[in-house]
Amino acid sequence: MFRRCILSRSTWNCREADLNETVWRGSKDVWLKSAYDAFIDAGVDAVRILPLAKKLNLSRTSFYWFFADREALLDALLQSWKARNTASIQQRCDAYAETIAEAMLNVFDCWLDQSLFDSQFEFAVRSWALQSPAVAAEIKGADEARISALTAMFVRFGFPQLAAEVRARTIYLVQIGYISMNTKEDLAVRMKRIPSYVEIYTGQAPQRREMERFASRHKFTLNAKQGAEEFV
């Protein structure tokens, strides 16, 4: 059976599609996934109909069953980026938490889980924005929405508006710096640093049980003798 797939390099959530209806021309999801791969590997200039068709072993004309033109495909890529990266930050900011430290750890899920926040996609879109005013405007809107969600999270926990805005901007700009610099850290190193990041960002160190829940979500086991303060 042919499968239709959601954009992701690491995990594809697939549903069965009728072979007789799709195999000769692919599907919208297949074309979009191929465009995503080309975009991540070589940037927006690599997203071209004919090379994608050759890669998929499909006819060029089959593309037009699903997209009006290349611009429609690029717009679909941009919408996919927004639906994944911006929506995930907003959702994690709104997630239940008993403390601001726990709320911050909810947001940190985005930085460790590629299915929530695709850092490669983020980097590629920001690179694209350097040559496209329209994409730059989309980036600006996404930045504002994400910072607004972080600000609202701090306000919810009693922080004054200005302090909430400054903390939100600090968190967000640091993470975008990580992405822009293509910073790589293994999970153990990052887990060791996260309690200090949380305390610096929120003024409150995470409790051990909060760190244990967070680590468990990312399939990491904390040292049994380690307290949160020992992660610095």
pLDDT of residue 38: 98
Rounded to an integer, what distance in angstroms lies between the CA atom of residue 217 and that of residue 21? 39
Within this chain, do residues 121 and 221 fall inside the same structural domain, yes or no? yes
pLDDT of residue 8: 53
Per the structure block, which two tokens stand in for 201? 């960002």
Read off the pLDDT of residues 165-185 as tens digits, 9 standing for 90 and up: 999 999 999 999 999 998 989
Could you tell me if residue 221 is inside a domain?
A: yes
Could you tell me if residue 75 is inside a domain?
A: no
Q: Which residue has the higher pLDDT, 32 or 17?
A: 32
User: What is the domain extent for residue 42?
Assistant: 2-67
Number of other residues whose CB lies within 10 A of the CB of residue 133: 8
DSSP state of 16: E
Read off the pLDDT of residues 93-143 as tens digits, 9 standing for 90 and up: 999 999 999 999 999 999 999 999 999 999 999 999 999 999 999 999 999
Cβ proximity of 88 and 117 under 8 Å? yes
Three-state DSSP at 216 gives helix
Rounded to an integer, what distance in angstroms lies between the CA atom of residue 91 and that of residue 100? 15
Could you tell me if residue 114 is inside a domain?
A: yes
Q: What percent of the chain lies above the pLDDT cut of 90?
A: 83
Within this chain, do residues 109 and 200 fall inside the same structural domain, yes or no? yes
Per the structure block, which two tokens stand in for 69? 């033109």
Cβ proximity of 19 and 33 under 8 Å? no
Q: Which residues pair with 14 in a beta bridge?
A: 5
Residue type, 160: P
Within this chain, do residues 32 and 97 fall inside the same structural domain, yes or no? no
Cβ proximity of 138 and 192 under 8 Å? no
Closest by CA position to 166, among listed 156, 155, 157: 155
Read off the pLDDT of residues 62-105 as tens digits, 9 standing for 90 and up: 999 999 999 999 999 999 999 999 999 999 999 999 999 999 99
Pick the last residue of a domain from 40, 67, 94: 67
Rounded to an integer, what distance in angstroms lies between the CA atom of residue 8 and that of residue 159? 36
Number of domains in the chain: 2
Rounded to an integer, what distance in angstroms lies between the CA atom of residue 214 and that of residue 219? 9
Cβ proximity of 3 and 16 under 8 Å? yes
pLDDT of residue 129: 98
The CATH number linked to 36 is: 1.10.10
Q: Rounded to two decimals, what is the model's pTM?
A: 0.85
